[in-house]
């Protein structure tokens, strides 16, 4: 088990592994997104209350899920990096951060677009939207802190600590915002009360969610690969690779 | 360990007494920010009373943030921070003493100033105890959380804006429960739940923040 872990942790081995599986994941991702979008936007029935505008759920919900998931990945990798000083974990965290921020932004933008037909306003201080907004701030802070260090090893450690502080705070922020929201908002406003969703709408949603996850993996792998090349530029295996490819 | 704690605490308090700007400026800032709001939204008594808890709490957040920038700065510049990191005493205890000293000189005065600004903003007299209790628990938490950000950015030349970016999102739960405890009293509701939550946040940050602060400071000298 540990030997396997150790081998994967070597940047060279991870690079080769990512190189092999990325195209397969990319193909699978493209199929899932295409079928999911088709079934979601064309095949799934129109919603009784919300009409066609509910279809934004097929982008909004997967990106909101991913925004949380990517932060968890970053926090997990940060913990591994701080404990075992494993370079790969730091690279994965670094590669994931802008993508997580992008997913968060997408969730916010689609939430706002969805809010216009549902609430009649572009922005509602709804508990979930507000939590997403704060999550975006956390991502921006994480990236800003890492970028501010001239010494990249110190920056990586500092960012890792911040990610762990953030992950402790995320549930606290989430529940306090929810509490704040129920305290201040009159109940008359339409709320998305996790209504039971029909199976014909649920299946495309799950396909989109899986597609988003694969999209993240494909991009994360390719970003990680280029970061590995950048950091290991002076090692012999990178030089050999470059020569093989006539670069 | 307790001796070391007391030594750091006494040293920081003495230093603060001699550098008055460090703790007077955030207080003046607090008062100025609060007096800007009536000028901005108009002198409508009813409106001011409604938004007063939020104004006072946001101003406290900003004052704490502003004050926390100086928490490790001078010690970092003259090298005594490195001595703390190298000392044989547990670093998390030493930084806890520093944070406590810092709170005593920047957080506690806010508490004493708060009845004054509450009156200025037309809050009812009976909400003042709740305001002070929430500020007591809240500013302690804020100081601990802000210290993590200060420790992460102390090695950087331009830490100021970055510190705000890191720390302000983490302040949000304290802001929510702090201002809502005053709002509860204003509305005639019991305040206990809000204060219990603030107490829970304080205990959590008391347990975890010193570890994060110590880890952040160690990075600088690796």
Is the pLDDT at A192 greater than 60? The verdict is no
Greatest alpha-carbon pair distance for chain A in Å reads 67
For residue B79, what is the DSSP state?
T
Is residue A186 very low, low, confident or very high in pLDDT (cuts 50, 70, 90)? very low
For chain A, give percent helix, strand, coil, nearest 5: 85, 0, 15
B181-207 per-position pLDDT tens digit: 998 888 888 889 899 999 999 999 999
C-alpha span between B89 and B80 (Å, rounded) = 14
Which of B168, B176, B215 is the closest to A161 by Cβ? Answer: B215
B165 contacts chain A (CB < 8 A): yes
Which of B152, B177, B180 is the closest to A158 by Cβ? Answer: B152
Residue with tokens 């360990």: B1
Asked if A179's CB is within 8 angstroms of B176's CB, the reply is: yes
Is residue A188 very low, low, confident or very high in pLDDT (cuts 50, 70, 90)? very low
Is the pLDDT at B23 greater than 80? The verdict is no
For residue A44, what is the DSSP state?
S
> Across chain A, what does the average pLDDT equal?
86
pTM for this predicted structure: 0.89
How far off is chain B from A90, nearest CA to CA, in Å? 15
C-alpha span between A240 and A235 (Å, rounded) = 9
Report the range of poorest mean pLDDT among A45-54, A135-144, A190-199. A190-199
Which of B156, B197, B212 is the closest to A149 by Cβ? Answer: B156
Per-residue tokens: B29:
């800032």
Asked if A144's CB is within 8 angstroms of B165's CB, the reply is: yes
Q: Long-range contacts of range B191-196, CB-CB < 8 Å, 24 or more positions apart?
A: B191/B130, B191/B133, B194/B134, B195/B130, B195/B133, B195/B134, B195/B137
Interface of B with A in 182-211 (CB under 8 A): 197, 201, 204, 208
The residue among A198 and A145 whose pLDDT is bigger is: A145
| Residue extents of the structural domains in chain B | 2-220
C-alpha span between A240 and A12 (Å, rounded) = 12
Residues B193, A179 contacting (CB under 8 angstroms): no
For residue A45, what is the DSSP state?
P
Is residue A2 very low, low, confident or very high in pLDDT (cuts 50, 70, 90)? low
Residues B159, B65 contacting (CB under 8 angstroms): no
3-state secondary structure of A51: strand
Residues present in chain B in total: 222
B177 contacts chain A (CB < 8 A): yes
- Chain B residues inside the 8 Å CB shell of A179: 176
B170 contacts chain A (CB < 8 A): yes
B180 contacts chain A (CB < 8 A): yes
A213-236 per-position pLDDT tens digit: 999 999 999 999 999 988 888 888
By C-alpha distance, the chain A residue nearest B189 is A183
B112-151 per-position pLDDT tens digit: 999 999 998 888 888 899 999 999 999 999 999 999 999 9
Interface test with A, best of B148, B155, B166 (most A CBs within 10 A): B166
A102-120 per-position pLDDT tens digit: 999 999 999 888 888 877 8
- Chain A residues inside the 8 Å CB shell of B219: 154, 157-158, 161
pLDDT at A194: 53
Asked if B156's CB is within 8 angstroms of A141's CB, the reply is: no
By C-alpha distance, the chain A residue nearest B193 is A179
- Chain A residues inside the 8 Å CB shell of B216: 158, 161
The residue among B203 and A86 whose pLDDT is bigger is: B203
Alpha-carbon torsion, ordered A16, A20, A21, A23, to 10 deg: 130
Closest alpha carbon to B60 in B168, B210, B150: B168
Inter-chain contacts counted by CB atoms under 8 A, chains A and B: 71
How far off is chain A from B174, nearest CA to CA, in Å? 9
- Signed CA dihedral, B155, B160, B161, B165: sign only: positive
DSSP string, A16-32: HHHHHHHHHHHHHHHHH
For chain B, give percent helix, strand, coil, nearest 5: 85, 0, 15
């Amino acid at each position: 088990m540990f030997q396997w872990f150790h081998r994967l942790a070597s940047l060279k081995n991870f690079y080769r592994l990512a190189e092999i599986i990325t195209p397969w994941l990319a193909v699978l991702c493209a199929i899932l997104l295409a079928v999911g979008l088709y079934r979601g936007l064309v095949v799934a029935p129109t919603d009784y209350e919300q009409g066609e505008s509910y279809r934004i759920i097929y982008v909004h919900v997967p990106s909101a899920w991913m925004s949380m998931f990517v932060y968890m990945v970053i926090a997990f990798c940060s913990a591994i990096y701080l404990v075992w000083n494993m370079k790969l974990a730091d690279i994965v965290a670094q590669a994931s951060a802008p993508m997580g921020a992008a997913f968060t932004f997408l969730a916010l933008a689609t939430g706002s677009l969805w809010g216009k037909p549902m609430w009649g306003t572009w922005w509602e201080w709804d508990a979930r939207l507000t939590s997403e907004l704060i999550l975006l701030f956390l991502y921006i802070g994480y990236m800003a802190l890492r970028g501010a260090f001239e010494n990249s090893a110190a920056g990586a450690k500092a960012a890792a600590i911040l990610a762990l502080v953030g992950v402790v705070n995320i549930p606290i922020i989430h529940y306090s915002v929810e509490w704040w929201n129920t305290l201040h908002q009159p109940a008359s406003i339409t709320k998305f009360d996790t209504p039971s969703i029909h199976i014909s709408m649920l299946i495309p949603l799950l396909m989109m969610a899986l597609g988003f996850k694969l999209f993240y993996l494909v991009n994360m792998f390719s970003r990680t690969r280029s970061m590995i090349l950048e950091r290991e530029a002076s090692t012999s295996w990178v030089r050999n690779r470059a020569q093989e490819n006539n670069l | 360990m307790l001796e070391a704690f007391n030594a750091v605490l006494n040293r920081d308090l003495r230093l603060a007494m001699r550098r008055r700007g460090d703790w007077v400026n955030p207080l003046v800032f607090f008062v100025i920010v609060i007096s800007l709001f009536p000028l901005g939204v108009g002198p409508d008594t009813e409106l001011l009373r409604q938004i007063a808890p939020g104004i006072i709490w946001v101003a406290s957040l900003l004052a704490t943030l502003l004050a926390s920038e100086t928490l490790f700065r001078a010690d970092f510049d003259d090298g005594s921070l490195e001595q703390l990191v190298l000392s044989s005493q547990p670093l998390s205890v030493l930084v806890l003493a520093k944070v406590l000293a810092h709170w005593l000189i920047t957080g506690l005065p806010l508490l004493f100033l708060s009845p004054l600004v509450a009156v200025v903003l037309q809050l009812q007299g009976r909400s003042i105890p709740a305001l002070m209790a929430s500020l007591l628990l809240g500013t302690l938490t804020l100081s601990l959380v802000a210290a993590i950000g200060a420790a992460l950015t102390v090695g950087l030349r331009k830490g100021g804006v970055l510190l705000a970016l890191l720390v302000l999102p983490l302040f949000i739960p304290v802001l929510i429960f702090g201002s809502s405890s005053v709002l509860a009293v204003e509305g005639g509701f019991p305040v206990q739940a809000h204060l219990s939550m603030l107490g829970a946040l304080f205990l959590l940050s008391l347990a975890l923040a010193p570890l994060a602060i110590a880890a952040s400071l160690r990075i600088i000298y690796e």
